[in-house]
Amino acid sequence: MHQNIETKFNNLKERNLSIDITRGKPDRSQLDLSNELIDISIPSISEDGIDLRNYGEPFGIKEARKLGAELLDAPIENILAGEQSSLLLTYQTVLSNFLFAEPTPWKDLKNPKFICPVPGFDRHFMMLDDFGIEAVGIPLNEDGIDLDAFKNLLQNDDNFVGILCVPKHSNPSGEIYSDTNLEKMFEIGSDYSDKFLFLFDHAYLIHDFLPTPEQKPLWEVAVKMNVQNQTVITTSFSKVTFGGGGISFIATAGHSLELIKKVRTTMIICPDKLNQKRHVEFFKNAESVKKHMQKHAELVRPKFEIAYSHLEKLPKECGTFSRPTGGYFITYSTTKPIATKVVELCKELGVLITPAGSTFPNNYDPNDSVIRLAPTYVSKDELEDAMEVFTTSIQIAHFDIKV
């Protein structure tokens, strides 16, 4: 068997492949679904008479905010429609608290810390690092964060200012937080402090490609638990229409809403209202956004199926893999501490994978076992090759075969 794997490795090497599956991006056919947006003709005046070509409406045009309100199931007065990036809104939320949180801006705290479920999104860690905020990892279970670990951390340290998580199709391991998990999180966090921030990056809110467990609207759960002033939810159309070319939305209330408005007022006079209007004209309502997402699902699902078909052939002893029902990533967890080695071997064979460790704070995976795969962007043929390379590299590293 080892001989076969070695031969496969050498054959793959001779093919001089060059495939990049590092980032979760839509492929061309997914982008084509929204081509109409490029040429769509729109009125230059908004529903309530605002000239879309000029400055004004710093928090987004009413019709875009209405669409955001429908998608996030929150009242329009709690919604801002921003530029094309939800990550920017998340960053601005952290910035606003860093500069202006009351009673003490985070910049004036000795050692502000955030809780981050791991594995997580590398840019979240980078963001917190920019502010000198320590990201402390807690494990994720199938139904959300490990509540005991959450409670334990909070009991033993009063430096935490918030938690940052992806509550649906979590990047990269695909968990869907249950309503109960969220309620408990809100309860524990708000008991800890009425200023503790629940920051949700809802990047994969409507990105199911297989039947997915129902999740109550996050805003509804936050209101039920009376933590809406401590809750910030962001999302965007980056993986609905165009990567980096959609609209972003934020839902929040009370002091958190005032803080984000405050920093945004200094930073930007208004978002691109024409692009907001273009999106509203294209979609009209949340129902049609969801229908559009079904077309994405048809294109994305086969890519995941290709990846699963290869991963299923790996000997069970090598590791386990996630089987998300939405989102953009698969996580492979190796049994042995070989993630770094596997990524290196893939690179040697011409396949780029997200660096091992990057789904953990400080790029440090204590078990060196988590590997993030992003199957959507490449063609099906390229994906077949990339998965062949990946599964071969796993076996080379796991069985310590010399190549």
Ligand X SMILES: Cc1ncc(COP(=O)(O)O)c(C=O)c1O
Residues that bind ligand X (CB under 6 A): 24, 85-87, 121, 166, 171, 201, 203, 236, 238, 244, 248
- Is the Cβ of residue 376 or residue 395 nearer to ligand X in the bound state? 376
- Is the Cβ of residue 127 or residue 397 nearer to ligand X in the bound state? 127
CB atoms within 10 A of CB 368: 18
In whole angstroms, the minimum distance from the beta carbon of 291 to ligand X comes to 21
- Is the Cβ of residue 96 or residue 248 nearer to ligand X in the bound state? 248
CB 84 within 8 A of CB 245: yes
In whole angstroms, the minimum distance from the beta carbon of 113 to ligand X comes to 20
- Is the Cβ of residue 240 or residue 257 nearer to ligand X in the bound state? 240
Distances (CA, A) of 343 to 20, 124, 224, 373: 12, 22, 44, 11
CA neighbor of 116 nearest in space, from 80, 150, 89: 150
For 400, left (φ over 0), alpha (ψ -120 to 50), or beta?
A: left
β-strands 113-118, 19-20: how paired? unpaired
- Is the Cβ of residue 78 or residue 171 nearer to ligand X in the bound state? 171
In whole angstroms, the minimum distance from the beta carbon of 154 to ligand X comes to 24
β-strands 248-251, 319-321: how paired? unpaired
In whole angstroms, the minimum distance from the beta carbon of 195 to ligand X comes to 24
Distance CA 75, CA 54 (A): 26
Structure-block tokens of residue 117: 């479920």
In whole angstroms, the minimum distance from the beta carbon of 173 to ligand X comes to 12
In whole angstroms, the minimum distance from the beta carbon of 85 to ligand X comes to 3
How many whole angstroms from its chain centre is CA 92?
16
- Is the Cβ of residue 293 or residue 396 nearer to ligand X in the bound state? 293
In whole angstroms, the minimum distance from the beta carbon of 403 to ligand X comes to 33
CB 186 within 8 A of CB 229: no
- Is the Cβ of residue 9 or residue 242 nearer to ligand X in the bound state? 242
Distance CA 325, CA 207 (A): 9
